[in-house]
Amino acid sequence: MKMGTKIVPTIGRVVLYVPGPGDHAAEGNQPHAATVAFVHNDNLVNLSIVDANGMQYARTEVPLVNEGETSDALHGFCHWMPYQKAVAAGEILATLHAIPPPSPAPDNGQGEGPTADVQEVPTPEFPGDPKARFGGIGAGG
């Protein structure tokens, strides 16, 4: 990452959470996937985290460590993923899915526009008793 390049955290961004030795969630040597739930400042966030078993848990006031910084947080810290750091540094381009598609022209009501060629698709019918198909789940009892 270029010197001075810093990613500003925002709600909804994905980071990697590294549980500290004092964190009961520490297991294995891989970080956990986390989503920023609240931003206190550029270096401190609240996280919604998924552990190695897919179980969700939360941590508040987690230090966000940027490139070149260190953390002595006993209960863990988070950092940006390598891809995010490379994009921020200008080393690679952001993927195209991050760019919204152009808005379609509105339908003018005369068979032209984005809805002119839309066809209704029939709902498929499934034979048999719904309780048998789904083991009684959501089938009204």
Residue 71 counted as domain residue: yes
Is residue 68, in this structure, part of any structural domain at all?
yes
Enclosing domain of residue 77:
14-92
* Contact status, residue 74 vs residue 63, Cβ threshold 8 Å: no
Kindly give the confidence (pLDDT) of every residue in the chain, 141 residues in length, as a single tens digit, with 9 standing for 90 and above: 455 578 999 999 999 999 887 676 767 788 999 999 999 999 999 999 998 889 999 999 999 998 778 777 677 899 999 989 888 888 888 775 555 666 666 666 665 555 555 555 555 555 555 555 445 555 444
pLDDT at 3: 53
pLDDT of residue 53: 87
0.75 surpassed by pTM: no
Contact 65, 76 (CB under 8 A): no
On whether residue 138 sits in a domain, the answer given is no
State how many domains the chain has: 1
Asked whether residue 44 is assigned to any structural domain, the reply reads: yes
